[in-house]
Amino acid sequence: MKVLKFGGTSVGKPERMHSVAQLITADNDQKIVVLSALSGTTNALVEISQSLSEGKKAQAKQQIDKLESHYRTFCDQLVKQEAGRASAKAIIDEHFEFLNIILKISFNEALNKDILAQGELLSTRLFCVSLEEAGISAVLLPALDFMSIDEYEEPEIPKIKIKLGNLISQHKGEKLFITQGYICRNARGEVDNLKRGGSDYSASLIGAAIQADEIQIWTDIDGMHNNDPRVVKKTFPIEQLSFDEAAELAYFGAKILHPASIWPAQHFNIPVKLLNTMQPEAKGTIITELPNGNGAKAIAAKDGIIAIKIKSSRMLLAYGFLRKIFEVFEKYRTPIDMITTSEVAVSLTIDSEAHLDQILKELQPFGTVELDHHQTIVSIVGNEVAATPSIITKLFDAMEGIPLRMISYGGSRHNISILVNGQFKEKTLQVLNKGLFGLE
């Protein structure tokens, strides 16, 4: 069985949804198809929630109405026959009635998650109506019946495996299953989600749970590129990546994949393909266990990084200092991305402000603490990249004139990361594209 995930732009227009229907019926293999919300929907739902949390009901009502009319127009083109139109209308009525009821009750976090879930619920239900109109047999598997996270927001693969297995076994002989990406239930049984962009993660978790032959992530670009195509002019798709390389790239900012979406596939050794709905015959990128080639393969950037420097003469010749510092971050469940040390200071980076005030307060006793906001981590990733002759020379030559805040080399053989002020991000990606790949 294969898992195929289609992102928001792949289902964002009625004709794109029709193309997805063609793609998934091109062969007769058994598949689970994971869908995102139509492009723009989750952002719109975030705005509705925001308005409600601020008590701006009139504004929320306007935003809901605007989204509703978008869906009505969408369905006018998606389905043409009377039966299909009636089903689509009933689905839209149901979900927008829910949003309109929410306007009348008091807002809370659980309700926020319910609001955010509407996008994937709508896209999958409407897609099923469109499949039915086209005479394609498919079964909708509600993600809320099998996808779950524990109290630490970690997915529960063994439970998912059992529940999903049971659901699938109720439909013997069925070739096509449709389900929602992104949404799940939390430890309290409430509707929750796998964070923004989480549909990739859903696909990977489903792939792991059913031990799929392959996980395909379909987007609107022909695979993972060697650099950010929005920032540099010339980039090229990478044909093959190892799980380690892909995980580093996804984590360090390659937007094509949710950062957590590689580990489930890697753990169960399931190949992941990144494919393009606009160009289905293009090779895309295949991610497997095998490393392929040496040297710099791609550059990715992660914005919104905070650098924290803790300076203390007590660190001199002392042991246990780093442990005490790390314990503060552990207490607030805040991951550290980069770290560099000197004999009297340590600099590290985090990507979340959520507990920054508390963290800073607890770091005060250890020494002087300095903060730099709006930093960007730029990572150069590739099999054995750190051992590639002259890589550091090329890197420093290219970076001439751009101030470096931190550099991390040797943490893994597949990654060299540098930290620059966010204002130098674009310049850094451009000079490295030239310096490492010879592309302007």
Tell me whether residue 254 or residue 391 sits nearer to Mg ion (CB atom): 254
First to last CA, the chain: 42
Name the minimum Å distance from CB 32 to Mg ion.
18
- Angle, vertex CA 109, rays to CA 106 and CA 115, nearest 5: 80
Among 119, 155, 253, 284, binds ligand ASP (CB under 6 A): 119
Q: Which does 196 bind (CB under 5 to 8 A by kind): ligand ASP, Mg ion, none?
A: ligand ASP
Tell me whether residue 50 or residue 412 sits nearer to ligand ASP (CB atom): 50
Query: Pick from 416, 422, 387: which is nearest to 249 by CA?
Result: 416
* 8 binds ligand ASP, rule: CB under 6 A: yes
Name the minimum Å distance from CB 23 to ligand ASP.
18
> 223, 274 in Cβ contact below 8 A?
yes
Q: Which does 259 bind (CB under 5 to 8 A by kind): ligand ASP, Mg ion, none?
A: none
Tell me whether residue 7 or residue 382 sits nearer to Mg ion (CB atom): 7
Tell me whether residue 128 or residue 328 sits nearer to ligand ASP (CB atom): 128
Number of residues that bind Mg ion (CB under 5 A): 2
Q: Which residue has the tokens 């289609």?
A: 6
* 42 binds ligand ASP, rule: CB under 6 A: yes
| Stretch of 6-14, 142-150, 223-231, 280-288 contacting Mg ion, by CB under 5 A | 6-14
Q: Which residues contact 179 (CB under 8 A, 6 or more apart)?
A: 32, 33, 34, 35, 124, 140, 141, 142, 143, 202, 206
Scanning 252-380, the segments in alpha helix (DSSP H) are 263-267, 321-331, 356-363
Scanning 134-262, the segments in alpha helix (DSSP H) are 157-169, 199-210, 243-251
Quickly count: other Cβ atoms within 10 Å of residue 314's Cβ.
11
Name the minimum Å distance from CB 138 to ligand ASP.
20
| Stretch of 5-13, 128-136, 142-150, 320-328 contacting Mg ion, by CB under 5 A | 5-13
Number of residues that bind ligand ASP (CB under 6 A): 12
Among 155, 181, 197, 259, binds Mg ion (CB under 5 A): 197
Q: At what angle do helices 391-398 and 425-437 cross, to 10 degrees?
A: 140
Tell me whether residue 198 or residue 367 sits nearer to ligand ASP (CB atom): 198
Q: Which does 12 bind (CB under 5 to 8 A by kind): ligand ASP, Mg ion, none?
A: none
Q: What is the DSSP letter of 158?
A: H
> Kind and range of the H or E element at 180?
strand 176-180
Among 12, 181, 264, 382, binds ligand ASP (CB under 6 A): 181
Tell me whether residue 9 or residue 240 sits nearer to ligand ASP (CB atom): 9
> 347, 376 in Cβ contact below 8 A?
no
Ordered strands of the 368-381 beta sheet: 339-341, 345-350, 298-311, 368-381, 415-421, 406-412
Tell me which residues touch Mg ion (CB under 5 A).
7, 197
Tell me which residues touch ligand ASP (CB under 6 A).
7-8, 36-37, 42, 119, 181-182, 196-199
